[in-house]
Structure 1
Amino acid sequence: MYPLPDLTGRTVLVTGTTSGLGFALSRAFAGAGARVLMTARDAARGAAAVARVGGAAEPVLLDLADLSSVRAAAADVRERTDDRLDLLVNNAGIAMGPRAATADGFELQMGTNHLGPAALTWLLMPALRGGGDLEPARVVTTSSLGHRTGRLDPDDLDGKRRRYSPTVAYGTSKLAGLLFAAELDRRLRLAGDEVLSVAAHPGMTESSLLGNSLRRGATLQARLSGPLDRWFVQPVEAGIGPQLAAATGPVHGGDYLGPTGPFEVAGPPGPARRSTAAQDPDLAARLWAATATATGVPPDPGRTVNA
């Protein structure tokens, strides 16, 4: 596993922590001495995960598919931490189910994987600015190899103008997250803010959403999932390496990390490749504005010079 520094005295918020990457991240941060706020949609499952992690771990009730829950969780975290948060890891996500809607009527994957985390990030910016006593606070956005399949239209975040494809919808939501991370970094720098925005992807891990999607897929894909697991899928302890490196390693705002092995499927963390769309600053700026309109949450940083 990626080696962590001593995190004693630091407060970390990780989303989606009842299993998989989020649970492993929480356990790693807690093991390094951090106070870890672990979010879950279900209170009982969240409490069980916290008990398994131990240390200075605490549950936070959060459903990213419900913006009222996002607002309540952000207020809870700000109060609990006295507006002192060192690290936000936007890890929670869903993948490739049939078309469904969030509590606010958005396409479920876009709502859970992008709109909810973006709103949470904006709402927690005062706490992130108040943290970072030892070094600047960070926001880590978890993207995916699947972002390369995304087809994002900021004027149609729900994808209602095209036929629904679970795979494309997932890729689009992950492309949105990667663009959001880049635009957040750009606006933080323009505002002269020290908070860092970094992104990472886990490649293919035992809890990877892409791997899970294959096991839910067509018959041929199901037959292939066994060989894929044996040859390409890495254990979760290795899969969290890019997120841990983004959270605690030597990075610059705007960096994107992933596994450095062939096809970025597995391997030690290092620079990852973005799709052409993920490098489009105009698309990122349009998404930023569309996200603010959709969520009703004021973007932070807001209007800045040359924004």
Structure 2
Amino acid sequence: MSIFRFGVLSTGATSSPGGWTTLARRVEDAGFSVLQVPQHFSVPSVPPLPSLAMAAAATTHLTVGTLVLDNETGHPAVVARDAAWLAAETGGRFELGIGAGWMAADHTMLGHPFREPAARVDRLGEALELIRGCWAGRTSFAGTHYSLDAMPEGCATAHPPALLVGGGGRRVLDLAARHADIVGIAPDMRSGRIGRAAARTTGRGPVAAKAARIREAAARRGATVELHMSITAVVDRADTARIDKLADTFDVPPAEVPRLPGVLVGDTAAICDELRRRRAETGVGYLTVNEVLLDRMAPVVAELTGT
């Protein structure tokens, strides 16, 4: 059974000038294991790799990571090179998270095509092959979607960063199981937005089924993967108005809200018990919360981290 560890996801949009490193130290002091940033262009967000390098430099043991880079916005060999360098310079405190790219606006605002889901997943699969190849010393590559010609010295490393691949659809999760060290189970967002139908694809039953499939696929390559999910809401049991609003958002009865994988309901003791139950059922022990939930989740982190 995987041990619990917790991350904080921040866009940095609420940080005042000079406040980013203060946030990193706050995350570390609160007992969280990881500070993560997304990659978006259509909403305010810090640049992922520079901000994470600063956060690592300002802390002593905090891991930093991307959740996640959009594969459609960069060449995988460049991603592999930059990730290998950052992992080496932080003493192994960097996780590379990457996905197929789900937010349509991130693509269209840059003048890039928002490809069909199957094409994005195909490109991600080839990118993962190339990233792993670069870390193994490969300097040239000729694929369907990407090519590389005599990259100087490649970016070979004996200690590559942990690779997190996130997604919700079957094909992308199969890719993750074949290539990743950490698999992030997310809603199915092939349409380019998070809607009710997408959110409901991460019900407790579907998560357990996805987790079992991921573990089986990873075992075929002789690997054991860590399973990750994000928590998007933490609610007091007495806050019926908020529970009703979440029920409407996810199109479920209010009584089902506490069972939604992205939602936690109750006080610290109840949340700890619920997370233990979920881990026993799904195997998910790596959880990320938004920055706004940092203080609320700190007691839970103190209770469960490393257990």
TM-score bin, normalised by smaller chain = 0.3 to 0.5
Q: TM-score, normalised by structure 2?
A: 0.37
